[in-house]
């Protein structure tokens, strides 16, 4: 796609889990989760406050909000993994990510969210690397989308991180900031 026809909401496309899911694919996703915090830090390094406060698309969140959103979202997912591993098909709580992105802490410096994302992903990746294939099949029940396996959710969040990283990278490219 040319830059003019790219959907700015989904610069890497929508998530679609491969079928069948292979352990090698899941290892790739886990490696992606491990790399994400450093990649986000690298991409936003050197951006000015004005650039951080620029929406990645018309009507979209600012770069700053995206950076704060990543640990918010991934923290929720990490907890869902813990519940699914310690309870039988737990019903998890949804959250209003748009309202979270409008809270005062989403307008602050990004350093604390970058550090949170780094620590969180170290823990999450450590957990994931220690799970058996059988444990990865465990599920939680989302109130909107229904049952979700951990194995598919790993892929969803690997995609989620890359999806938001691409929002920032494509903005930087479009604006000629680097």
Reported as a pLDDT band with limits 50, 70 and 90, residue 168 is: very high
Residue 10 lies inside a defined structural domain of this protein: no
**Sign of the Cα pseudo-torsion (49, 36, 81, 98, in order):** positive
Long-range (24+ apart) CB contacts under 8 A made by 48-54 are 51/175, 51/177, 52/110, 54/171, 54/175
Q: Look up the domain containing 81 and give its range.
A: 23-172
Return the CATH number at 59.
1.20.120.450
Residue 33 lies inside a defined structural domain of this protein: yes
Residue 85 lies inside a defined structural domain of this protein: yes
For the chain, what is the radius of gyration of the CA atoms? Answer: 17
What does the pLDDT look like over 81-101, one tens digit per residue? 999 999 999 999 999 999 999
Please count the structural domains in the chain.
Answer: 1
pTM of the model: 0.94
Q: Is 62 helix (H, G, I), strand (E, B) or coil?
A: strand
Give residue 4's pLDDT.
Answer: 46
Residue 91 lies inside a defined structural domain of this protein: yes
Residue 56 lies inside a defined structural domain of this protein: yes
**Residue range 30-35: average pLDDT?**
98
């Amino acid at each position: 796609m040319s830059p003019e026809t790219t959907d700015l909401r989904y610069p890497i496309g929508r998530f679609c889990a491969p079928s069948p899911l292979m352990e090698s694919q899941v290892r790739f996703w886990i490696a992606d989760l491990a790399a994400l915090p450093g990649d986000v830090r690298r991409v936003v390094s050197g951006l000015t406050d004005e650039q951080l406060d620029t929406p990645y698309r018309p009507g979209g969140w600012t770069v700053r909000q995206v950076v704060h959103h990543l640990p918010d979202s991934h923290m929720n997912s990490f907890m869902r993994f813990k519940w699914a591993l310690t309870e039988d098909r737990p019903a998890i709580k949804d959250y209003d990510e748009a309202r979270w992105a409008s809270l005062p802490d989403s307008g602050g410096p990004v350093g604390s969210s970058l550090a949170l994302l780094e620590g969180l992903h170290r823990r999450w990746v450590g957990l994931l690397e220690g799970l058996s294939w059988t444990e990865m099949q465990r599920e939680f029940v989302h109130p909107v989308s229904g049952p979700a396996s951990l194995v598919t959710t790993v892929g969803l969040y690997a995609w989620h991180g890359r999806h938001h990283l691409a929002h920032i990278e494509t903005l930087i490219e479009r604006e000629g900031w680097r």
